[in-house]
Amino acid sequence: MKEKNKRRWWMWVVVALVFVVYAATMLVVRLNNPIHLQKTVYQQWKQDYLVTRGQATFVNAGTTKHPAGLSEAQGYGMMITAVAGQRGWASQKEFDRLLNYYLSERDVVDNKQTALMKWRQYQKDGQWVSDANSATDGDLYIADSLALAAKTWPKRAAYYHRLEKALANDILAYEYNPATKVLMTGDWVDAKSRYYKLMRTSDVMPTVFDQLAKDTGNQQWASVKNQMLDRLVDLSNQHKTGLVPDFAWVTAKSAKPVGANTIASKYDGDYWFNACRVPYLLATSKDPRAKKVLNKMMKFFAKQYEVFSGYTLKGKPILKRKNAGFNAPIFYAVNHNRNQGYDNLFNSEKSIYAQRLNQNDYYGATLTTLVAVEGWK
């Protein structure tokens, strides 16, 4: 009897070993076949997060039971689709359906139709409703997606550029602070608002500003880039980690982190779910200030045993668990900046692609997909 039980035990050990070897082999195959993996991630994201209604499609930033649209999400979706189109994975029709949704949700300011997008849409009492006011990051992503679409589908480039210019002009008209010379968080902020001198660090998008300056011919975008990068450098210089907060109070010559619960959460002054995008946003900029800020924070991450979800500016983890919303931007940044002293982050952060895309985390899944469609080798 004992001999029989012993044989069974060894049989289960062998089965377990076979399973482990198989799983490890499949993981290696998955990670070592990047193009197939990148396309698979994109297809999973489409299936999980895109909702089509008639001739319009929106990115679901809510849940299956309680769907919601966000201008940020729509901008990401349009960027993802435009880049996927360059790789032959998405069609112009798919992009235009996302575009149609944006066009149907543009904001009205002082009874005037603008090109800015209303920041949130959701189901209420059986009706699809929209919250007025814009969010600057979403508008910038949408403008960038239109520039990308013009390159992807050149026969329709004139139309996309026309929409891009209209949106760029309204960002400067309604979301720009002439006193601080930086972008505000949305068109709902004015000189009377307590948030008039508030800057969101994830609105610092130097490559987008460069593109808008080129496409519109308006060099005010160069000024916006210079001023916002200077403020980001100010924030980076204040801590050895180089980490920057989600939000900062700014003047024309300085910046300081906000306190807890200033506008969104108790982590407003920490490296949280807005600032986590900064590595992605700086990764491909050739501006030395962007490189300085990026390299400093990336070297901090390279020294960590594991990159967690959020940090105080002094480098203390806030949540000791991983979230792809933090890992994907870091992976993108190291992929575009090799031999800078943080190459170890390439393999550690690439691990987010070892499993299926999260079906219950719009933010992390979408940033993971955005990085995937842009590719790596």
**Per-residue pLDDT tens digits for 90-129:** 999 999 999 999 999 999 999 999 999 999 999 999 899 9
Check residue 26 and give its pLDDT.
Answer: 42
Check residue 23 and give its pLDDT.
Answer: 43
Q: Above 70 in pLDDT, residue 19?
A: no
Q: Above 50 in pLDDT, residue 70?
A: yes
Check residue 9 and give its pLDDT.
Answer: 57
33 — pLDDT class (breaks 50, 70, 90): confident
377 — pLDDT class (breaks 50, 70, 90): confident
Q: Identify the bridge partners of residue 131 per DSSP, sorted by sequence position.
A: 120
Closest CA to 313 of 232, 251, 228, 238: 238
Q: Above 60 in pLDDT, residue 16?
A: no
Beta carbons within 10 angstroms of residue 291's beta carbon: 15
20 — pLDDT class (breaks 50, 70, 90): very low
Q: Above 50 in pLDDT, residue 248?
A: yes
Average pLDDT over residues 272-281: 98
Q: Is the pTM of this model over 0.85?
A: yes
Check residue 101 and give its pLDDT.
Answer: 98
Residue 325 Cα distances to 139, 342, 368, 370, angstroms: 20, 19, 7, 11
Check residue 10 and give its pLDDT.
Answer: 58
Report the phi/psi class of residue 375: left, alpha or beta, with left for phi > 0 and alpha for psi in -120 to 50: left
Check residue 7 and give its pLDDT.
Answer: 57
Nearest 5 degrees, angle CA 222-CA 225-CA 231? 145
SS3 at position 316: coil
3-state percent helix, strand, coil for the chain, nearest multiple of 5? 55, 15, 30
Average pLDDT over residues 65-76: 97
Q: Domain ranges in the chain? A: 33-374
Beta carbons within 10 angstroms of residue 273's beta carbon: 19
Over the stretch 303-352, which tens digit does the pLDDT of each residue have?
A: 999 999 999 999 999 999 999 999 999 999 999 999 999 999 999 999 99
Average pLDDT over residues 265-287: 98
Distance (Å, whole) CA 129 – CA 121: 6
Closest CA to 246 of 289, 193, 294, 185: 185
CB contact set of 323 (below 8 Å; sequence gap of 6+): 309, 361, 364
Question: In the chain, what percentage of residues exceed pLDDT 70?
Answer: 92
Distance (Å, whole) CA 228 – CA 149: 26
Average pLDDT over residues 72-87: 98
Task: Provide the total of helices (H) and of strands (E) in the chain, helices listed first.
Answer: 13, 13
Average pLDDT over residues 19-45: 70
Report, at the CATH architecture level, how domain 33-374 is classified: Alpha/alpha barrel (1.50)
Check residue 345 and give its pLDDT.
Answer: 98
| Mean pLDDT for all residues in the chain | 93
